[in-house]
Chains A and B, each alone.
Chain A
Amino acid sequence: MIRTVPAVLLLLCAAISHATDIRVVDREGAAVPTAMVTASPFEAPPADLSDDGYPPHGVTNTAAVTITRFTDAQGVASLPEADSARQVRVRAQGFVDASTSADPGTASATVVLQKMTPEQYIASFPSNVWLSQLTFGGDAELKKTFQLNCAFCHQQASPFMRNERTVEQWLAVFARMNSYGARLPAEDHQAIAEHLQRELRTLREQPQTVPEPRAWGAHLAEVSMTEWPIGDGFSQMHDFLLHPNGMVYVGDNLFDRLYEVDPESGEYTVYKVPHRADDEVGGILGNRFTVFPKMYNYMGVHSFAVSPRDGNIFITPSMQQALLEFNPTTKAFTIHEMDAGYYPHTIRIDEQDRVWFTLALSSQVAKFERTSGEFTLYDLPARSIKEWLVLKSLPLMFSIDPENRPQPAPDREGTGLPMPYGIDVAPDGRIWVARLYANDLAVIDPATDEVRMIEFPYAGPRRLRADAEGNLWIVAFQDSLLVKYAPESGEFSDYPLPVRNEIPYALNVDRERGVVWVNGNQSDTLLSFDIATEDWRVYPMPRQRFFTRDVEVSEKDGAVYTSNSHFPSWQTEGGQPTLLRITPPTP
């Protein structure tokens, strides 16, 4: 049975199969292709959330799984069978969202979409196209500074960011964000506030100047998206791992919880990451979020890598001098203490089962030998004497109580914070690192322990991955580029993204299929790049403000996973973080 809602016309058909075909048409009856059809259960399965709103340690719940399909050229999308009533939301570019409901056994239904008014249409554009029109008075470097420091947590021109604010209100926003950990240079505050105030107003008054977003492509008709809602509006599902055991392990960065999600059943089990009794919220960095109603990041679950030897999972706890190990069989955690290095960040494991990770604050790379339990730290060079002094003073600074610790005064170059960020192991075993603020790459030869630096001719190398040929693929964050580095020739090649003014956070390479997957966190997209043909495909996300920071690829079928880690999560559409799978990702 179908229930109708205003502005939606549903035509009942006899139930002839278990799948539900949703036909989407406009008011003239013409088929609407590439319409996004999202079905979610009306009622979430009962869940034990008795641990401050989260499942207690070791308890298994079932996620309220959401399915998204896209209509084909005939305007039809087929939803898989379900055993409970579902809400169906239909979204298409240029049309007002419509929703309806479908009970089990519904064979088909037709949804009529209403065209947006011109004002509604422009207002519906994703953040990136609005952002593309901000020029900061023609000061490209200032815009890059803004993007580098203000776009790594959330979208920057979403509807509620475009609200008129006075210059003073913008300045207050910057002060607040810097208190949370952003590093917008003080000398740029006034100019950026004035540009945002003036240029957003101009766009509001001349919205016709905002370019249309890229149209959704016909390839989407082959795509299915599955979302597993996990955590709540205060969570941040930062990085995750697709494990050979079939589970996906997702870290709640703000609540020290590991979500073990079974994509087959929709069940998930939460494991609470341990910490030492005398640890405090915020770890050694101190709690920058005291005004938040909830925060439980004693460790700060950040990045994941799996051991090729035994399948154990290694996790970087950003807030501590430590490395976490999780045994997915026994569900036991081990804390490997370090006596140096600050801010364990992105992590990978090489074929020799050595664990490599960046230390973002102390500008180091750490190697953990599992056999000996020893850490080796590789110092990456300072860019100046001042930076060297800052880096050398970190132990002294961290010996001071966080509440009384001097706060850094960031500059545009990020002096004192070159920030080694992404890391990967190339097929030849060399370790590659990108330094976000320093705009350079480091390569470590594990055989010789030699560290070599390579200048990166773009801005904002954030995360990187090596492909099957040993080439490095790197996102240039504030330059909005995908960059390839060929170590053999030393050549860099850049590839403009298929959506304008994207600020790509991370990527992954499907080595089997030769596809690079790029996070499109300002445009609500995931982007795929075929290395051989250099063709792009764009995958729109099922929720607005779907900020992604990590991608995993299933070697088996090429499905890709990402997580919605907008910070704060309550600002994402629906206020709910999710793990997302896109399949099949046919390039």
Chain B
Amino acid sequence: MKHSGVLALSAGLWLAALAAGAALASDWPVYGGDAGGRHYSPADDINTGNVAELEVAWTFRSGDSAQYGADMANTSTQATPILLPEAAGASLVYCTPFNRVIALDPGNGTQRWSFDPQINRGGDRPFRCRGVAYAEDTQSPANAHCRHRLYLSTHDRHLWALDARNGQPCSGFGNGGRVALYGASGHAPGDVSNSSAPVVAGGVVITGSTVIDFTRAHTPRGVVQALDAHDGSARWTFDPLVGHPDSGSANVWAPLSVDTEHALVFLPTSSPSPDYYGVERPGDNRYANSIVALDLNTGELRWHFQHVRHDLWDYDTPAQPILFNWQRNGDSIPALVQLTKQGLVFILNRLTGESLWEITEQPIPPSQVPGEHAALTQPKPIAPPPLLDSFLMPHDAWGLTPVDRADCRRKLANLHNLGLFTPISETPTLMYPGSLGGPNWGGGALLDERGVLLVNVNNVAFSGRLVPLGEQPAAGNGPPSAGKQFRVVMAGTPYAAELGSLQSFLGLPCNPPPWGKLIAVDLYAGRILWETALGSVHEMGPVTAPFHIEWGTPNLGGGIATAGGLFFIAATMDRQFRAFDVNTGATLWRYTLPVDATATPMTYRYRGRQYVVINAGGHHMFNRGSGDYLYAFGLPP
């Protein structure tokens, strides 16, 4: 960890931050709805009684499809807009996969301004942008340029500060409104990029990074950076793998959370490199695969909780920590809930990192790879239960016909499978959940006061194996894509890794549906309240079926809950945008979008009308088409 000398926090900035958080609670001012990522809105104009009447209020197209053409195939549209306060222009603002920032009239979707950072599009890293962050800079005079600011972390590793009212770069911030975050390291373009929105609090802008962590043993460090929100100067840094020279990554690519009251920022850290081979990084690899709490002002470590020791499965911490107050026996404990790819739900005291449910250490089998010392145990909360059952036995094989079921049964019988945390080896090994999760970056939504978490999960078994160098590949190089085995090189190790979803010759998953689920978890009682399939497979076959087949689909993106008793989510591979009843899981409304919407929606009230907005542009991994749509829904005026 490295600290700058500028640690003093302006009281004005502090108060402004607090005021901003309070005033904007109902208007979706930040990526996750609030600084604690609860994905919850108190708006209830749209509710279970009238959601069936929901209709398109307006649509907007960013123009990316026309401007970038073929490059759109390498994008995933993931942005959640935010609504700026009146003083900042009251625009609805979001970013496109190429980091263009667009401000719209919230009432009709008319564009007010846009900003194009002209990113370096070198490398083959997919383009994505989950959002921007807003803050009022009290060091700038009222009504002056960049008093109200937007912060944008870009694909090519720049942090931009823009005037929220017109999109102009802030001249006093860095070099003409931008700071190079990772300029001189010598890594290729795309090795390190950004996907999630930065967070702004206490006068600092904090940003993580996205690092390709399976290509090499020694990938770039996953350093988290904090910059002065006013001028862009460095304030502090945190390297999650400090003291571990023979690894890299452990970066923070998922959204961060901030507790301004206790001056804490929470980092969901990812796997160390390389993902599937840990011989050169012995030990637990602290602080990878952890929730790390840092002092917001200094970057000093307050606590950490490592949910995977010595990761061999690419079980990044994928989701934004959700901050809430844990109610038990009349006590209210500042807490956070962390979803993990492996389908576990950890609830921690956010001031100490102590688990609020007993942690049981799960023994795991030893690795068969020479020199690999898998951790003897991994932590698991005694409750709530895992969101997925990670065993898949041959007798569990699923198929549409006896023939493809037999094919899956045979494949499963030949896989190593000792449940969650079975170490990968040269023999194909079940990875269930795989690196897709379980939960992923869409995170969850927490119902106000009730301690009920709604979370969408993937439920598709993967398999993987280590391929010794020199052995001919059975799969193509490259990133994961729907239904295909892919190969990652892990240069600097004796192996490559071959991974992919476990499918029959018909291309159907070998595990029984649903292949995507929506689950309601009672965090206080530690139990699952209900779960339901999320998504229809009617468009996933060679021919589109004329009716929905609700077997669930893989899903990316999250959902939001409202005081209207609704949970809105798209995320699926069926172009649907749905509203569920939070109490029963019943689908109350759905709408067919032009393309899949792998983003988290948001909602706001504007001039007396509640809107629900979803960004629909497809996902390169789903390979089902792209677009550049923003849809707003509302009740009939």
> Which A residues contact B (CB, under 8 angstroms)?
53, 119, 123, 159-160, 162-166, 168-169, 172-173, 175-176, 179, 201, 204, 232-234, 290-294, 545, 568, 570-572, 574-575
In the complex, which residue of chain B has the Cβ closest to the Cβ of A403? B413
13 A-B pairs besides A53-B368, A291-B416, A568-B418 with CB distance below 8 A are A160-B362, A163-B381, A163-B382, A165-B385, A166-B385, A166-B528, A172-B389, A179-B393, A232-B366, A293-B418, A293-B422, A293-B427, A572-B363
**CB within 8 Å for A164 and B382 given contacts A172-B389, A290-B413, A291-B413:** yes
Interface membership of B360, Cβ < 8 A: yes
> Which B residues contact A (CB, under 8 angstroms)?
358, 360-366, 368, 376, 380-386, 389, 391, 393-396, 412-418, 422, 425, 427, 429-430, 526-528
**CB within 8 Å for A575 and B385 given contacts A291-B416, A292-B418, A294-B368:** no
B427: chain A residues at CB < 8 Å are 293
Of B360, B395, B417, B430, which contacts A163 at CB under 8 A? Answer: B360
Report yes or no: A290 in contact with B394, Cβ–Cβ below 8 A. yes
Report yes or no: A291 in contact with B366, Cβ–Cβ below 8 A. no
Report yes or no: B358 in contact with A123, Cβ–Cβ below 8 A. yes
CA distance A505 to B306 in the complex (A): 38
**CB within 8 Å for A172 and B391 given contacts A164-B383, A164-B527:** yes
CA distance A166 to B522 in the complex (A): 13
CA distance A164 to B521 in the complex (A): 12
B385: chain A residues at CB < 8 Å are 163-166, 169
Report yes or no: B361 in contact with A159, Cβ–Cβ below 8 A. yes
Report yes or no: B365 in contact with A293, Cβ–Cβ below 8 A. yes
**CB within 8 Å for A204 and B382 given contacts A160-B363, A163-B360, A572-B363:** yes
| Chain B: minimal CB distance from A429 (Å) | 45
CA distance A391 to B414 in the complex (A): 32
Can you name 19 A-B residue pairings with CB atoms under 8 Å? A160-B360, A162-B382, A163-B382, A165-B386, A166-B528, A168-B389, A169-B385, A172-B396, A176-B391, A201-B383, A204-B358, A204-B526, A234-B365, A291-B394, A293-B427, A294-B368, A570-B366, A570-B376, A571-B363
B376: chain A residues at CB < 8 Å are 570, 574-575
B527: chain A residues at CB < 8 Å are 164, 201
Report yes or no: A159 in contact with B360, Cβ–Cβ below 8 A. yes
Report yes or no: A575 in contact with B393, Cβ–Cβ below 8 A. no
Report yes or no: A575 in contact with B363, Cβ–Cβ below 8 A. yes
- Most chain A CB atoms below 10 A, which of B368, B383, B528: B383
B364: chain A residues at CB < 8 Å are 570
| Chain B: minimal CB distance from A253 (Å) | 17
CA distance A168 to B383 in the complex (A): 15
| Chain B: minimal CB distance from A469 (Å) | 43
**CB within 8 Å for A234 and B366 given contacts A204-B526, A290-B394, A291-B393:** yes
B365: chain A residues at CB < 8 Å are 233-234, 293, 568, 570
In the complex, which residue of chain A has the Cβ closest to the Cβ of B429? A293
Report yes or no: A292 in contact with B393, Cβ–Cβ below 8 A. no
| Chain A: minimal CB distance from B452 (Å) | 16
In the complex, which residue of chain B has the Cβ closest to the Cβ of A122? B358
| Chain B: minimal CB distance from A403 (Å) | 9
A572: chain B residues at CB < 8 Å are 363
| Chain A: minimal CB distance from B366 (Å) | 4
CA distance A173 to B358 in the complex (A): 22
B362: chain A residues at CB < 8 Å are 160
- Most chain A CB atoms below 10 A, which of B376, B427, B429: B376
CA distance A176 to B392 in the complex (A): 9
A164: chain B residues at CB < 8 Å are 382-385, 526-527
In the complex, which residue of chain B has the Cβ closest to the Cβ of A175? B395
B380: chain A residues at CB < 8 Å are 160, 163
Of A119, A168, A201, A575, which contacts B366 at CB under 8 A? Answer: A575
Report yes or no: B360 in contact with A162, Cβ–Cβ below 8 A. yes
| Chain B: minimal CB distance from A199 (Å) | 14
| Chain A: minimal CB distance from B557 (Å) | 26
- Most chain B CB atoms below 10 A, which of A159, A179, A293: A293
Report yes or no: B363 in contact with A290, Cβ–Cβ below 8 A. no
B416: chain A residues at CB < 8 Å are 291-293
| Chain A: minimal CB distance from B310 (Å) | 14
In the complex, which residue of chain B has the Cβ closest to the Cβ of A207? B358
A165: chain B residues at CB < 8 Å are 385-386
Of B361, B368, B383, B389, which contacts A293 at CB under 8 A? Answer: B368
B386: chain A residues at CB < 8 Å are 165, 169
CA distance A525 to B371 in the complex (A): 34
In the complex, which residue of chain B has the Cβ closest to the Cβ of A232? B366
CA distance A53 to B373 in the complex (A): 13
| Chain A: minimal CB distance from B493 (Å) | 20
**CB within 8 Å for A163 and B418 given contacts A204-B526, A234-B365:** no
In the complex, which residue of chain A has the Cβ closest to the Cβ of B526? A164
CA distance A570 to B378 in the complex (A): 12
| Chain B: minimal CB distance from A94 (Å) | 17
B528: chain A residues at CB < 8 Å are 166
B366: chain A residues at CB < 8 Å are 232-234, 570, 575
B358: chain A residues at CB < 8 Å are 119, 123, 159, 204
B417: chain A residues at CB < 8 Å are 291
Report yes or no: B383 in contact with A175, Cβ–Cβ below 8 A. no
Of B368, B393, B413, B422, which contacts A176 at CB under 8 A? Answer: B393
In the complex, which residue of chain B has the Cβ closest to the Cβ of A169? B389
B393: chain A residues at CB < 8 Å are 175-176, 179, 291
Report yes or no: A204 in contact with B383, Cβ–Cβ below 8 A. yes
CA distance A119 to B359 in the complex (A): 11
| Chain B: minimal CB distance from A56 (Å) | 16
| Chain A: minimal CB distance from B420 (Å) | 11
A574: chain B residues at CB < 8 Å are 376
A169: chain B residues at CB < 8 Å are 385-386, 389
A201: chain B residues at CB < 8 Å are 383, 526-527
| Chain A: minimal CB distance from B274 (Å) | 21
- Most chain A CB atoms below 10 A, which of B365, B416, B427, B430: B365
